[in-house]
Amino acid sequence: MMTREEILSELERLQPWFHRIDLGGGIFTKTESVMGEPVDHPAGPWEVIGKCIPADLAGKSVLDVGCNAGFYAIEAKRRGAARVLGVDGQRQHVRQAVFVRGALGLDIEYRRMNVYELNRRTVGQFGITLALGLVYHLKHLARRARAVPPPAARTCAITSWPRSRSSKAPRAAALRKS
Ligand SMILES: C[S@@+](CC[C@H](N)C(=O)[O-])C[C@H]1O[C@@H](n2cnc3c(N)ncnc32)[C@H](O)[C@@H]1O
């Protein structure tokens, strides 16, 4: 179990944080925006995404692609998912996610992987795949489209935040399969 001082020290070392995650005891992973996102990101998108996913995920498996520091993976675990795997292409984000997992004591797998590497052989099969805030990062959309569904996907939720002059609000889209 980490002390408060150890947690604060790791939070500092692992900066910058994109996800604001409550670690308890009044400690959050971040206290300011790093790239223009709301400081409490992804609390806003989660209000939409959270409604597209069953409230009870008992026995379900969830793959979070581009998991960053693990906000959505954590929420899936808290809804009772049996298996949660978060993958992210950036080592820094996987380190953040692993640290948060330890601080919260949750059983979540994390791997550093590129979305193009995902298939049933490499990660297995999932009931639900989340690919949030990811698509606009990807150069090879057609390859991604082939990659993501096979290991998943009864439910696949995708959000996008296009830069719009008319609105600063995130635009969220969610696709739900039965
Ligand atoms: C804008 S962040 C979104 C994070 C989180 N899903 C959310 O909605 O808050 C995009 C994430 O996708 C990851 N990412 C970008 N391209 C990727 C790729 N080709 N394979 C795996 N992860 C990737 C980034 O490292 C980053 O953590």
- The C-alpha atoms of residue 138 and residue 147 are separated, in whole angstroms, by 12
Residue 3 gets which letter from DSSP?
A: -
pLDDT tens sequence across 87-124: 999 999 999 999 999 999 999 999 999 998 988 899 99
pLDDT tens sequence across 156-170: 556 555 444 444 444
Residue 69 gets which letter from DSSP?
A: T
Half-sphere exposure (Cβ direction) of 140: Cα atoms closer than 13 Å? 9
Cβ contacts of residue 1 below 8 Å, gap of 6+? Answer: none
Pocket of ligand 1, candidates 48, 137, 156: which has the most ligand atoms within 8 Å of its Cβ, to mutate?
137
* CB of residue 89 inside a 6 A radius of ligand 1: yes
Q: Which atom of ligand 1 is nearest to the CA of 161?
A: 1
Residue 87 gets which letter from DSSP?
A: E
Q: Give me the tens of pLDDT residue by residue for the chain, a chain 178 residues long.
A: 889 999 999 999 999 999 999 999 999 999 999 989 999 999 999 998 898 889 999 999 999 999 999 999 999 999 999 999 999 999 999 999 999 999 999 999 999 999 989 888 999 989 998 988 887 777 766 665 555 544 555 555 565 554 444 444 444 444 444 3
- The C-alpha atoms of residue 108 and residue 32 are separated, in whole angstroms, by 26
Q: What is the value of pTM for the model shown? A: 0.86
C-alpha triplet 127, 153, 94: angle, nearest 5°: 80
Atom 10 of ligand 1, residue of closest alpha carbon: 134
- The C-alpha atoms of residue 24 and residue 28 are separated, in whole angstroms, by 7
Domains and CATH numbers, the chain: 4-176 (3.40.50.150)
- The C-alpha atoms of residue 54 and residue 76 are separated, in whole angstroms, by 9
Rg (CA), the chain: 16
